[in-house]
Amino acid sequence: MKTAHSYRFPIVLEKDEHGYFVSCPALQGCYSQGDTYEEALANIQDAIRLHVEDRLAEKERIEDPKVLKVF
């Protein structure tokens, strides 16, 4: 029986005149958007989940995310 591993990844969320853009710097190419803050968060959660599932299916290693400095 496999046990699920829980990951916590930092995200960067930006607002502009078109809505919200959100990315996960720890996972290259993992980004999304939404018209609202809540939609953007839900979308990046899905994007991160799919990104991790794909990497695990390909037997790629998932590094624990590094702590990012916020400026």
| Domain membership flag for residue 50 | yes
Work out the pLDDT band at 63, boundaries 50, 70, 90.
confident
User: How many domains does the structure of the chain reveal?
Assistant: 1
pTM above 0.85, yes or no: no
| Domain membership flag for residue 28 | yes
Q: Which domain holds residue 24?
A: 12-57
| Domain membership flag for residue 44 | yes
- Tens of pLDDT along 22-44? 999 999 999 999 999 999 999 99
CA distances from residue 64 to 3, 10, 36 in whole angstroms, order as listed: 17, 11, 29
| Domain membership flag for residue 5 | no
| Domain membership flag for residue 46 | yes
Of residues 15 and 4, more confidence is placed in 15
d(CA 33, CA 15): 10
| Domain membership flag for residue 64 | no
| Domain membership flag for residue 2 | no
| Domain membership flag for residue 33 | yes
